[in-house]
Amino acid sequence: MARIIRVLLVSACFIFTVCRVNCEPVNLSTLVTVQNVPFEQCTKIFNIDAENLFYLTIAGINANRFQIDEIQSKTGYILFNAVNKEFLASVVKLDSKNSLLRVTPANNVYYFQPGIVLNLFKYIELNGSVKPVVLPVK
């Protein structure tokens, strides 16, 4: 019995050590340092319908204090400026429950701060579970 407990304790310590090394949060300096960002990091699929994702994207851009230049709701894209660089956020409907958000630089130069895209995705993840409420007009 003592042997089994020792084996379980050793394996639990090993798992926690490996998880701690691989699961540490991203350092703040890596989010604000200009670097090459892979295209895969600029796209994400959400379990939100396309219309709500479009509105959440607008809200996320405003919450991050980026300047919106142009909104096209029919095609689902938003042009905005962040840190003196222009970005294009486009929402693509995959099915009735899922949609894709792609945030890419307008000039196709993927040398920018990754925090711009990651903060927008984080805002949508945090606020996506809240259902929008229609307020009555008085």
Residue 41: inside a domain = yes
**Count of structural domains, the chain:** 1
Q: E strands within 47-127? A: 67-72, 77-82, 85-93, 99-105, 111-112
Categorize the per-residue pLDDT at 133 as very low, low, confident or very high, splitting at 50, 70 and 90: confident
Residue 21: inside a domain = no
Among 74-78, 88-92, 124-128, 129-133, name the one with the lowest average pLDDT: 129-133
Q: Provide the sign of the torsion angle of the four alpha carbons 20, 25, 27, 33, taken in this order.
A: positive
Q: E strands within the chain? A: 35-36, 43-46, 67-72, 77-82, 85-93, 99-105, 111-112
CATH number at residue 120: 3.30.310.170
pLDDT of residue 135: 82
Residue 67: inside a domain = yes
Residue 3: inside a domain = no
Mean pLDDT along residues 103-117: 93
d(CA 108, CA 11): 47
Q: What is the pTM of this model?
A: 0.72
Residue 54: inside a domain = yes
Structural domain containing residue 48: 28-127
Percent of the chain scored above 70 by pLDDT?
A: 76
